[in-house]
Every structure is written in C-alpha cells, then in structure tokens.
Amino acid sequence: MTDYSKCSLTRFPAPVLSQRAEPVGEITDDIRCLADQMIDLMVETEGVGFAAPQAGVNLRMFVVSLDGTRENARVYINPEMEVFGPQIAHEEGCLSLPGIYTPISRYAKCKVSATDLAGNRFTEEAEGLLARALQHEYDHLEGVMIKDRMSRPAKIRARRQLKQLIDEFNAGSAS
C-alpha cells in the first residue's frame, strides 16, 4: 500500500517527469486516494490539469478541470489519445516548470479514451482549451514537457529559469 496523501508537486528536473508512465493495473482505494490528492494539488496550484508524474508517481493517470475546481475535475486513467485538425500555437505554462510560459503547437482537436474511478471506460472528443489541456497532460504520461516542445529561441529565453530549477533540485537532493 502506498500513501499517496503525502504526494506533492514535483518540479523539473525530477526524473519521474521524463519517464514514460506505467499503466494503472487496478483501481483500488490507493488509486482513488491518489486521484483525490492530484485534484487537491491542481486546485491549490491554480492549474487546469495535473498528471500523476507531477505528483511524483509514475502512473498513467491525470485529472483535468478547465475552471480549476474540484467539482468539475475529471479523472483519466490509462488514457489513449488521437489528435486531429490543424496545429495551433498558444501560450502554455506548466506547474512543474514554474515561471516558464511559451507558445506550444497543439492539435486543434483530440479524442481521448480512458477509464474513470468507477472502472468505466469512456471516450471524449475535445477542442479548444480542453483539447490543449488533455494533450498537455497526456504528454506528461509520455515523459514530455513543454520545454521539450519549445522552439529554439524559446529554449534560449528560458535557459536561466531551467538552470535555476536544476540548481534548486540539486541543492534539495544534496541536503
């Protein structure tokens, strides 16, 4: 049994953020607790989505709530994604990369099939902000962050913040 109630926001360059997450085997009370904690972390940090790797947990699971509320949060377990339509660049940030905002190209539409906390499979089509949020969180399950999708000039602009995050991480690891 894992105590997911102690999970907290994980920041770059924590290794879990660059790994492909493992599938959730069974939906247990532990997984429901993890979903609850992820929703709490998303709401506390004023995000619209939050993936398990961002909580330091290497599982294929994320939550999304476009208005950032607990009431409207939806849990996606072991999601599969199809993307379509033109790619549109729009500014994005990431809770695991604080202070970095950059234009990221995403597909205009997507279709996600996932399992909910009751074990039911569902499929959802999305466009606009929801499509962008779903693709952003799905990227986390693939070990991809916005820094990996930035243009070269954007990477150059963000290098100081990225180095600071690495330095903070290394200082925390040393203590």
Catalytic residues: 137
Burial (Cβ within 10 Å: 0-12, 13-18, ≥19) of residue 45: middle
Give the CA distances from residue 66 to residues 38, 57, 75, 108, in Å, rounded to whole numbers and listed in that order. Answer: 15, 22, 13, 16
Q: Are 40 and 15 in contact (CB under 8 A)?
A: no
Alpha-carbon distance of 169 to 161, in angstroms, equals: 12
Question: How many residues appear in the chain?
Answer: 175
